[in-house]
Structure 1
Amino acid sequence: MSQAELSKFVETTAAELGIPGVAVGVWADGQEIYACHGVTSVEHPLPVDENTLYQLASVTKTYTATALMRLVADGLVELDAPVRRYVPELTLTDERAAAEITVLNLLNHTAGLDWGVINDTGDGDDALAGYVASMAELELIAPPGTRSSYSQAGYNLVGRILEKVTGMTYERAVSSLVLEPLGLSESLFAPNDVMTRRFAVGHNRDEDGTLSVARPWTPTTRGNRPGGGLVSSAADQLRWARFHMGDGRAESGVRVLPADLLQRMKEPTVALRGSAEGDAMGIGWFLRDVDGVRTVGHGGSANGNFAELLTVPERDFAVVTLSNAGPNGILFNQAVVRWVLQTYLGVTDQDPEPLPYDEVRARAQEIAGAYEIDAMTLTIDADGTDGTDGTGLTMEVVIKPEIRAAADTDLPRTTRRSPSACCPARGTSTSSRAAA
């Protein structure tokens, strides 16, 4: 794959999907290839390059997990130990669960915690402690260890373990344990640090199709940073990928993590059933077999910024793609990852085969009903009121009033989808992994 081929595909795809600025990096055959296109902002445009900063959103979780594994290597944390050994003040609605949840349960999303708490605990050094205190209101969706369910709150709690064990703030701990040893100088948390460098702002599309800058830019509240607050560049992301495919040493030769612990992060810890994210969860990573090849990756969605990082360790191959417009930023990232896998490795990532028609299943009574998460309600109708005699689906999504009231932008009140539009193909980066 040549630089010209990659650049042509990136430029064409970004133009087709209406993305103002994208940065793509590929590691293959021991070399880096970059293809960057467009601008950082439609209001104050600057050219995007491999050092332009983007919000990583939930890709941050891979950094939080790796920092924690450094404490495991030093004998300061045990994966099978209860979280309360390190955060004794942890309080949940279920006392038994609070006592039983282990560190590993947090890292592979098997703690049984709901997605998260909508709560801004400020910008002080006590922000993460305040977030963990607010988890006393968080619902549990399953007993610890019984299933994997993605949780922002769980990773914020991992961040609090880092604080308690190291005596540092979360940001200082991650910098000391991971960013500085690996030379990731363009990976930052604080907006005041980001604003002195070239960074991409997110964009969202108005009802008339016009792209507008997404506000606020701030990636997430400080209490949410362990699950989604890092800002980084395509160049730093390829360095991060190379480290995780290596032997645990930095490019300088300094040992950052024992090779066996680094490898353990990429091994299955729990199977994922019917998940669009992968086949299994490692430690901080989603694992998915694509065309007979094991891939290891994570994606993230923020306010108009979208990130995808995918590695193929057995081929010493990695791709990172960053885009700055919703909702098509997700589609752009997916298209680039698929094209790169096919073009360079000959690996085909195909959509799942549709199930054969079944008259009973077609009526979809088994999934019809009302569903609720912290931010919205979802109603799936299959009773025929959509004009299809019960053989189709209508999906209605309503953002909760309290979420709307807290938002800095005017959110849509209701979204309805027809049967043909409510069943998208498998994605590799979805809003369920958003930082906030």
Structure 2
Amino acid sequence: MRREMTAHQYGNWWHRYADEGLRQIFVGRYETADGVLSAQIWRQNRPTWSSRPEVDRIIEQEMAEDGVPGVAVAVMKDGDFVYTRGFGKADIAGDEWMDSGHVMRWASVSKALGGALAMRLHERGELDRDQAIRNYAPDVPNRFTATFEQMLGNRGCVRHYATDPKSSLKNVDADQYEAEKDADAEIASTWYADASTAAPLYYGDPLRRFSGGAVSTTCTPGQSYLYSTQSLAFAGRGFEAATGTGVKELVQQEIAGPLGLTTLRAEEAADTSVRRAKIYAGEDNVEVDRDQITGKFLGGGVESSVRDMARFGTAVLEGDVYADVDHVWDGTDHGWSYAYGWGVGTRDGHRYASKSGGQRGSDAHLLLFPDDGISIAVLINREELADADDHGTAIAWAVGDLMI
């Protein structure tokens, strides 16, 4: 029972207790000299997960390392939630506590959604994952001969961001480097209706591959690896050409709608009806404006609550998005360690599929153990500051290690 709460305090506690598996059985409001206050009584609605105290400790430890503003975590086992919780603040200035219902950016975890869409459309007969994207979208230049599978496995010879620290382009072709920086800036400041209007920004770029630890400007599609957000624009262009439907609508029709993922969508910054967490940057947690991410929708423009992210993961591992799940878990027929937006492998004999992401106002991770029925989702409303093993990744794997 809690009493003497303002409406704001009542809202914070309502969401906190709902995450912890309680249900409200009484609420009362009463007049005081300080205005209308609330009292509420809650009752345990589901058994407490035995690992909850340890998971709470792990999250609080990660948050304390460098002052993370807010974290939301959702854990599912065999199709049911065993843990949902928010920590810290969704809105620091407004003193709004984070909870599992707040909507946040998926960042590069969006790539797993792009891979899922490709697999689903392939199984529905609307495209062939082994066909070149340009076979469906002839406006794609002739040199981009990668198939959907190759493009979604980072083997399409498409560049990543111009300022990627691993890139040597600045020293190889300074003019091209500046042109690509300009294109990246345009993507980050422009709203795009679909992939067909964003993809042409990359049509003039040379093919790319890793060579000697740096990025080379020559490549044979399908034969070398280069992590690429921009490759998802090509895949999205192919989806639209094959189906005649924009990628934003395709995600709603094929994934969000059928699975009941009501918060899963392309982030539209102008839509203020969404219950979003504020986004922050730097060690002082300064609130920042949202950049435009519609141009990289399937590469880093998706948003949802952490609950819907975990539910998406469970739907994938249970075969509810596409049936041929082993094709991805085993790294496709080629034995790749990155397939359809997932890093895949084994940990202590347990197969896993994992995807992390980071961008302005986001540190995200989705971790699945298909043979154990485990889906672990983590969303944070600030990009990782410096640690290569970012907080979202560290939390997800620490929880996973408790469960397998």
Calculate the TM-score normalised by the size of structure 1.
Answer: 0.68
1:22 to 58, 67, 71: 71
* More strand per residue: 2
Matched ranges for 1:117-196 at <5 A: 117-118=183-184, 120=186, 122-125=190-193, 128-141=195-208, 142-191=219-268, 195-196=272-273
Counterpart of 1:268 in structure 2 is 331
**C-alpha distance in 2, partners of 1:338/1:305?**
18
Alpha-carbon displacement from aligned partner over 1:125-181 (angstroms, at most 9, x marks no partner)? 3x5323222222212122111112111121111111122222222101111111101
**C-alpha distance in 2, partners of 1:169/1:186?**
19
Q: Secondary structure at the match of 1:314?
A: coil
Query: In 2, are the aligned partners of 1:108 and 1:269 still within 8 Å (CA)?
Result: no
Counterpart of 2:342 in structure 1 is 285
Query: In 2, are the aligned partners of 1:201 and 1:305 still within 8 Å (CA)?
Result: no
Matched ranges for 1:20-419 at <5 A: 20-28=69-77, 30-32=79-81, 33-91=83-141, 95=142, 97-98=143-144, 100-116=145-161, 117-118=183-184, 120=186, 122-125=190-193, 128-141=195-208, 142-191=219-268, 195-205=272-282, 209-213=283-287, 215-218=288-291, 220-248=292-320, 256-257=321-322, 259-260=323-324, 262-269=325-332, 280-328=337-385, 331-345=390-404
**C-alpha distance in 2, partners of 1:340/1:60?**
21
| TM superposition shift of 1:264 | 1.6
Q: Secondary structure at the match of 2:101?
A: coil
**C-alpha distance in 2, partners of 1:173/1:39?**
33
Query: In 2, are the aligned partners of 1:7 and 1:36 still within 8 Å (CA)?
Result: no
Calculate the TM-score normalised by the size of structure 2.
Answer: 0.73
Q: Secondary structure at the match of 2:377?
A: strand
Query: In 1, are the aligned partners of 2:358 and 2:384 still within 8 Å (CA)?
Result: no
**Residue type of the alignment partner of 2:101:** N
The range that moved more, 148-157 or 307-316, is 148-157
Query: In 1, are the aligned partners of 2:356 and 2:393 still within 8 Å (CA)?
Result: no
| TM superposition shift of 1:269 | 3.3
Query: In 2, are the aligned partners of 1:296 and 1:310 still within 8 Å (CA)?
Result: yes
> Structure 2 unaligned runs (5+)?
1-49, 162-182, 209-218
| TM superposition shift of 1:72 | 0.9
**C-alpha distance in 2, partners of 1:29/1:75?**
29
Work out the number of aligned pairs and report it.
319
**C-alpha distance in 2, partners of 1:166/1:323?**
34
CA RMSD in angstroms, aligned pairs only: 2.3
> Structure 1 unaligned runs (5+)?
249-255, 273-278, 346-436
Change (3 A) 1:3 1:153: same
Alpha-carbon displacement from aligned partner over 1:340-383 (angstroms, at most 9, x marks no partner)? 123232xxxxxxxxxxxxxxxxxxxxxxxxxxxxxxxxxxxxxx
Change (3 A) 1:312 1:17: same
Counterpart of 1:429 in structure 2 is none
The range that moved more, 283-292 or 193-202, is 193-202
State the percentage of identical aligned residues. Answer: 23
**Residue type of the alignment partner of 1:198:** R
Alpha-carbon displacement from aligned partner over 1:287-316 (angstroms, at most 9, x marks no partner)? 032233221011111103110000111111
| TM superposition shift of 1:29 | 5.4
The range that moved more, 327-336 or 32-41, is 327-336
Q: Secondary structure at the match of 1:137?
A: coil
**C-alpha distance in 1, partners of 2:74/2:243?**
34
Query: In 2, are the aligned partners of 1:293 and 1:312 still within 8 Å (CA)?
Result: yes
**C-alpha distance in 1, partners of 2:192/2:303?**
19
